[in-house]
Chains A and B, each alone.
Chain A
Amino acid sequence: EPEVTQTPSHQVTQMGQEVILRCVPISNHLYFYWYRQILGQKVEFLVSFYNNEISEKSEIFDDQFSVERPDGSNFTLKIRSTKLEDSAMYFCASLFGLNQETQYFGPGTRLLVL
């Protein structure tokens, strides 16, 4: 069964460093998402992406964040200058679209900013 994959599974970085989290959505899906979950808190929406542009973003998704679909398979989340409060699980999700409205999530990347 097709699934969303994410790499790396864990990443440790120093405050102020740039990180890139990678996702490979399900191959025929058209809509892509990033969510995050700070430890002990609920899953929060960050951004959605369709047709090579951002379709919606939350207040969390400030200028330090960017997303890109550099090729036909990868979907990346970049944090330019990480802060301690960026430590969280980051989940990628994808959706086929065209009235198939179920989002499928990847296993997540655990980011720890020291």
Chain B
Amino acid sequence: DAKTTQPPSMDCAEGRAANLPCNHSTISGNEYVYWYRQIHSQGPQYIIHGLKNNETNEMASLIITEDRKSSTLILPHATLRDTAVYYCIVKVIQGAQKLVFGQGTRLTINP
């Protein structure tokens, strides 16, 4: 089973920042936090990952709390195309283990 907890759904206005929370209170020291999203029934799309420092790329920012028990994915200026299911996944650093998907957060961007 997934080791993360996410709200089932969220809404955000277009142009505003979307902040998606994730709890992973049982995360181990050798586990990364990954975020993927799935638009409609398309294949999951990688967004970002991190270990303990905050990370930013062209898609999003990832804020991980100091105790690493929770994180927030930030889409700084949400657009209608960001409407998707967002998955927060924890996975060990080493090796090529499978991804374990939970139910994710269904984010709806409203015009």
User: Which A residues form the contact surface with B (CB < 8 A)?
Assistant: 4, 30-31, 33, 35, 37, 42-45, 48, 50, 55-56, 58, 89, 91, 93, 95, 97, 99, 101-108, 110
Contacts and interface: CB of A to CB of B under 8 A. Distances in A.
Nearest to A37: B41
B96 A48 contact: yes
Interface of B: 32, 34, 38, 41-46, 49, 87, 91, 93-104
Interface of A is mostly: strand
A110 B44 contact: no
Given A101-B91, A101-B96, A107 B42 contact: yes
A57 to B, nearest CB: 10
Contacts of B102: 42
Interface of B is mostly: loop
Nearest to B93: A101
A105 B45 contact: yes
Contacts of A103: 46, 99
Given A42-B104, A101-B32, A104-B46, 17 more contacts: A35-B99, A43-B38, A48-B96, A48-B97, A55-B96, A56-B98, A93-B44, A99-B94, A101-B49, A101-B91, A101-B95, A102-B34, A102-B46, A102-B49, A105-B45, A105-B46, A108-B43
A42 B102 CA distance: 6
A44 B101 CA distance: 7
